[in-house]
Amino acid sequence: MTTLDDVARHVGVTSATVSNVITGKGSVSESTRRRVLAAVEELGYQPNLVARSLAQKKTLTLALIVPTIANPFYAEIAEEIEHTAWRHGYQLILCNTFRDRSRGQERLKALSRRWIDGLLMMGGSLSVVDLLAATRFGQRRLPMVLCIPCEEELATGLSMVDLDYWYAGELAAQHLVSLGHHRLAIIVEYPGHAPRLEGFRAALAASGIDLPPDSIQYGDSTMQSGYQATRTLLSLPTPPTALFATNDLMALGAMEAALDEGLTLPDDLSVVGLDDIMIGAHMHPPLTTIATPKHELAKQAVELLLRHIDDAESPSLSLTVRPHLIVRQTTAPQQKEADG
């Protein structure tokens, strides 16, 4: 384990000089510069990041907090975030909270001791109280951006990158309405996904279609809940001919339930999801969904965070990314019905 001093001694200069050539700061004569570089090579010197971090109060480390990386949606975003972070020279510490408050707090506390440069938080990972506490680590301010905040996180005043979920709901409704459906249902995580519901409802209203209470079912973003909600919907006196699940996992659960009921997709029931997780495209039939542009989302989030890191005075910003509809094969025109 060679240190700066080793290199310096080997060349016959001082460690400050070696530091200068390595960081590219200060000015060094071309000749010593070359000798230093040669020595670095020869001794296989690697700068020690922890020493540097201590001296500069900068760790080149970001943390990403997610509810659970086992959810493919978060995993796919995490991959993009990791990628973007590394491109900017930052490493990523991964934290799962399992949506558990005490766990989240622990994680945060541990992070605060290690002087991460910034924090990226997926919405719903932490309680809002903990979240706000997190913005101040000791006395110093922790740069942080919220990625896809949930309802109650919107008022925190933090920087955030969100998807235009209201628009997503609108897209889903418009697509379904354009196919001639008028008995629609929604499976929604509430209140987390409220804007999706509202966008959906508003677009329906604009087409003169009502969304009765019965046709709004609640889930918790898992397949299981999508499955259950769909069983309930299908057992209604007049079951829906089309449904929108506010995330893909619930949509997959819905498909499963419909198939278990012996229905044919999409003829007997149209299903629209939201997220565009990889696997959705490979279901049978492939899932029609409102896609989250994950690469863009990650890019915006990381770059916004870096802006906060580089400039502590940089004001809080709210960015919004627009989703788009991907029509695959779980949606079809409304069939003729017996009872108009």
Partner DNA sequence: TTGAAAGCGCTAACAG
Partner DNA sequence: CTGTTAGCGCTTTCAA
Q: Contact residues for a copy of itself (CB under 8 A)?
A: 1-2, 44-51, 53-54, 59, 61, 64, 68-70, 72, 75-76, 78-79, 82-83, 86, 91-96, 106-107, 109-115, 137-140, 223, 227, 252-253, 255-256, 259-260, 278-279, 282-284
Q: Closest distance between a copy of itself and the C-beta of residue 161, in Å?
A: 19
Residue 141 half-sphere exposure toward CB, CA atoms < 13 A: 13
Is 224 within 8 Å of 257 (Cβ atoms)?
A: no
Q: Rounded CA gap, 181 and 174, in Å?
A: 10
Q: Please, which of residues 15-34 interact with DNA by CB under 7 A?
A: 15-17, 19-20, 22-23, 25-33
Q: Residue 320: which of 194, 128, 166, 173 has the closest Cα?
A: 166
Q: Closest distance between a copy of itself and the C-beta of residue 264, in Å?
A: 12
Q: Rounded CA gap, 34 and 216, in Å?
A: 71
Q: Rounded CA gap, 226 and 223, in Å?
A: 5
- Dihedral, 280, 281, 287, 292 alpha carbons, nearest 10: 70
Cβ proximity to DNA, 4 vs 290, nearer residue: 4
Among 37, 43, 52, 314, indicate the residue that binds DNA (CB under 7 A): 52
DSSP-based three-state secondary structure for 48: coil
**Phi, psi for 133 (deg, rounded to 5):** -60, -35
> Residue 271 is encoded by which pair of tokens?
């299903």
Q: Closest distance between a copy of itself and the C-beta of residue 186, in Å?
A: 20
Q: Rounded CA gap, 266 and 285, in Å?
A: 8
| Contact flag: residue 14 with DNA (CB under 7 A) | yes
| Contact flag: residue 38 with DNA (CB under 7 A) | no
253 binds, among a copy of itself, DNA, none (CB under 5 to 8 A by kind): a copy of itself
Using the contact rule CB under 7 A, the part of the chain among 44-52, 99-107, 159-167, 319-327 near DNA is: 44-52
Binding site for DNA (CB under 7 A): 1, 3-5, 12-17, 19-20, 22-23, 25-33, 45, 47-48, 51-52, 54-57
